[in-house]
């Protein structure tokens, strides 16, 4: 998923515009369309499913729990963004409850 963002200018613009608007501080941020926002949200949902998969595999002992540190677990600026918080409220109902609980605990503000 991150390779998609890196290699696709439209995906990168949508992702950064929605989840990382602070990078445009002092510069003009791109105008985002509804389609851009939906594109970024679907990229984030794919990212969350990936993190959820790694988390559940770590619970089952398939991989070590240290693998989670490479998957934005604990928090990042993106997962603490307003846009992520809005999306999270919608998508968490579709994720494994164990993952939701762990993700929310890891992403609480210090």
Domain with 42, as residue range(s), is 2-20+34-106
Nearest by Cα to 49 from 4, 103, 10: 103
Specify the 3-state DSSP secondary structure of 104. Answer: helix
Q: Is residue 50 part of a domain?
A: yes
Number of domains in the chain: 1
Distance CA 93, CA 77 (A): 22
More confident residue, 97 or 81: 97
Q: Does 68 map to a domain?
A: yes
Residue 109 confidence (pLDDT): 55
Q: How far apart are CA 28 and CA 43, in angstroms?
A: 23
pLDDT over 60 (residue 90) = yes
* Residues 6 or more apart whose Cβ sits within 8 Å of residue 46: 1
| Residue 74, in any domain of the structure | yes
Q: How confident is the model at residue 1, as a pLDDT?
A: 66
Q: Give the integer Cα–Cα distance in Å for 24 and 107.
A: 24
pLDDT in tens, 37-68: 899 999 889 989 988 999 999 999 999 888 87
Is 62 a domain residue?
yes
Range in 18-27, 29-38, 78-87, 93-102 with the lowest mean pLDDT: 18-27
Domain annotation covers residue 27: no
Task: Note whether residue 29 is domain-resident.
Answer: no
Condensed to tens digits (0 to 9), the pLDDT of residues 68-77 reads 777 766 677 8
What's the pLDDT at 10? 87
Q: What is the mean pLDDT of the chain?
A: 85
């Amino acid at each position: 998923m991150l390779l998609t963002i890196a290699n696709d200018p439209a995906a990168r613009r949508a992702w950064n515009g929605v989840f990382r608007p602070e990078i445009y501080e002092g510069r003009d941020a791109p105008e985002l369309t509804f389609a851009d926002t939906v594109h970024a949200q679907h990229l984030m949902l794919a990212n969350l499913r990936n993190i959820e998969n790694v988390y559940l595999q770590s619970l089952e002992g398939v991989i070590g729990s240290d693998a989670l540190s490479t998957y934005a677990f604990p928090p990042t600026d993106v997962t603490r963004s307003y846009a992520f918080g809005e999306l999270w409220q919608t998508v968490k109902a579709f994720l494994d409850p164990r993952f939701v609980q762990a993700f929310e605990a890891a992403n609480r503000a210090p």
